[in-house]
Chains A and B, each alone.
Chain A
């Protein structure tokens, strides 16, 4: 009776009923399959009927394009080379920024004088979208690797710092009392409470940062690059090859998804105590 409802605990009993059309259309995996098939079919038809003229490639054309790219060199390197060029930029920028921002955020939360000095300047920069730095970064660092890494680092910096800062700010103050009544000092409070308790928040910040990092990378590469996935998309735009554009989009989405998966894995490895809180 209630199996069409998603968060219903009572629905579990419906499993004993026999096969019926109604049960089929409310089966989640069936629906997923229908959804994906419809999506790709619709995409294919829209492209084949030229609803957007010749500006949308059919799915198999995109797959074919990606396969071609993996076989022959394009702009000096093959597909793996382009993927690696982009990934390396994200990796360097992301690591650099989080290595500075996370400790700084923790430090700001733990020391009010550091906070009073850094926070106002940080607040000045916070509302500025990282992509707005693209032009000035090219002005400063030219069109090489560093200007792209700089943008990624700028974009990553803000959420990393904010989350590690809030991670400590939002700790239950009574937890510090526990350390004190057990005979610990300020150092113990920081090591035994502040750091471990802020871990999940730091990881949430890394997760947000990572998705921003890919966006920033794309902005930087679209503006100016000689390789990378953004370059593929830009080249597809300039030479009017929708298949290349879509291929680039697929790749970057895939990489963004994989990297976020990686971070979650690392998190559940490092914070085993957090795992089941999420599944609650």
Chain B
């Protein structure tokens, strides 16, 4: 688990990434600038930053949903040119297919890749069990609570057996209790099914609870990487842990308040 001892393999590489959006058809807004990032295999990386700091855009670039204006993004040494099933994405707004049941949502990726019905069903059931929704597999999304919806989102991404999991503020719409619970669940699921994870959040405690390493973004556009922190604490962590609190103070001091 300690990245310094067993020489981890490089999974994701971002070099000099720049991205500018065009708003209202004619105004150029630089969103992220000069991002350099390396993520090791099975590392849990958290990108931490306030509201509008380009962190979601960075994730979308790694997902292949946006093309960077300049720079190079690679997975396992191969350049990323578009979205693909080797990267699973969990979206902030759940983005479940309202017209499919939980099972239908989870097996969608396998279906798109032409896996036969019986096999994809058993794979999907495995991941539904992993996220603890086995009693709800025939429910439609609108019958589920927010936390359950996001479990479906996680199971859907996992079911495609991606090499990398990308989570874009996945718990942003949940209440504090559910959010905490989902963080525990995230750690549990991740320890059962180890993946490289990039997790975007605006919540320091969430970052500290989950991360092997925290990337702190600057608090305004264009987004730049401000600091990096390694969190070398055993899991499951305690929010009251003195080491964690000390790190929290450091990070909080480095985070500028944007009003």
Contact = CB atoms under 8 A, between A and B. Distances in A.
The short answer to whether A and B are in direct contact, CB under 8 Å, is: yes
Interface of A: 172, 174-175, 177-184, 188, 192-193, 196-197, 199, 271-274, 276-277
B95 A172 contact: yes
A181 B86 CA distance: 8
Nearest to A273: B140
Interface in B175-233: none
B160 A182 contact: yes
Nearest to B160: A182
A28 B37 CA distance: 66
A177 B99 contact: no
Interface residues of B, number: 27
A179 B112 contact: yes
15 contacts: A174-B93, A177-B89, A177-B95, A178-B89, A180-B83, A181-B83, A183-B112, A192-B97, A196-B97, A196-B99, A196-B100, A197-B99, A199-B99, A273-B99, A276-B140
Nearest to B140: A273
Interface of B: 63-65, 82-85, 87-89, 91, 93, 95, 97-100, 108-109, 112-113, 140-143, 156, 160
Nearest to B156: A182
A102 to B, nearest CB: 17
B168 to A, nearest CB: 10
B63 A181 contact: yes
A155 to B, nearest CB: 30
A3 to B, nearest CB: 30
B140 to A, nearest CB: 4
A256 to B, nearest CB: 29
Given A172-B95, A193-B97, A181 B64 contact: yes
A183 B160 contact: yes
Contacts of B88: 181
Nearest first, the 4 A-B pairs at minimum CB distance are A183-B85, A182-B109, A180-B83, A184-B112
Contact of A174 (B85, B91, B140): B91
Nearest to B60: A177
A182 B108 contact: yes
B98 A273 contact: yes
Contacts of B140: 272-273, 276
B95 A178 contact: yes
Contacts of A197: 98-99
Contacts of B143: 276
Contacts of B99: 196-197, 199, 271, 273
B157 to A, nearest CB: 8
A177 B97 contact: no
B109 A180 contact: no
Given A181-B83, A182-B160, A196-B99, 4 more contacts: A177-B95, A183-B84, A192-B97, A277-B98
Given A175-B97, A197-B98, A183 B113 contact: yes
Contact of B91 (A178, A180, A199): A178
